[in-house]
Amino acid sequence: MIAYITVGADDIAQAERFYSAFLPSLGYEVEEYQGDLSYILPVEPGRSSVQPDFYVKSPFNGQSATAGNGVMVAFQAQSQKQVRDLHASALAAGGSDEGQPGFRNSYGPNFYVSYLRDPHGNKIALFSSDPNEPGRDE
């Protein structure tokens, strides 16, 4: 089980504007610890977490943060509309577009996705795959 995912950032305030534009809508709460950010899904007492935490941190080695080639973090949204809304919010908060919301021929007929880069170049996907919503071929 994946416990957490970390991306690097040189400007934590800029990263917080970007990630706080959409992660709270997906149920994440933000905590700040020693200047870094932890986005955590609340867990009911007596239960263990199901999804990983998401951390935004200054690199430990003191060097500049860089985005990994081929590395991407995907967040599941509740609907196609939420994918569109959160994509727009993330762009308005300093992200850049890597793929407008929509269906992709490479994936199943209900996989609706958008791609972004955060202000530091990390690739982020927002997706919905609800079989009760219209699919690519409908």
User: Is residue 66 in some structural domain?
Assistant: no
pLDDT score, position 33: 85
User: Is residue 116 in some structural domain?
Assistant: yes
What's the CA dihedral at 53, 56, 61, 65 to 10 degrees?
130
- CATH for 108: 3.10.180.10
User: Is residue 18 in some structural domain?
Assistant: yes
Statement: residue 1 has pLDDT above 70: no
Total number of domains in the chain: 1
User: Is residue 97 in some structural domain?
Assistant: yes
Q: Which domain holds residue 15?
A: 4-60+71-128
Statement: residue 49 has pLDDT above 80: no
Phi-psi region of 80 (alpha: psi -120 to 50; beta: other; left: phi over 0): alpha
Laid out side by side, the sheet with 112-117 consists of: 72-76, 123-128, 112-117, 96-103
Query: What is the CB neighbour count within 10 angstroms for residue 122?
Result: 23
Statement: residue 50 has pLDDT above 80: no
Mean pLDDT of the chain: 92
The closest alpha carbon to 124, from 10, 3, 35, 15, belongs to: 15
User: Is residue 34 in some structural domain?
Assistant: yes
User: Is residue 86 in some structural domain?
Assistant: yes
pLDDT score, position 48: 77
pTM as predicted: 0.88
> Which of 9-13, 62-66, 67-71, 125-129 has the lowest average pLDDT?
67-71
Q: What is the CA radius of gyration of the chain?
A: 15
Model confidence over 88-111: pLDDT tens digits? 999 999 999 999 999 998 899 999
- Percent of the chain predicted with pLDDT > 90: 74
- Percent of the chain predicted with pLDDT > 70: 99
Residues 80/133, Cβ–Cβ less than 8 Å: yes
The dihedral built from the CA positions of residue 96, 21, 132 and 111, taken in this order, carries a sign that is positive
Q: What is the mean pLDDT of residues 80-86?
A: 97
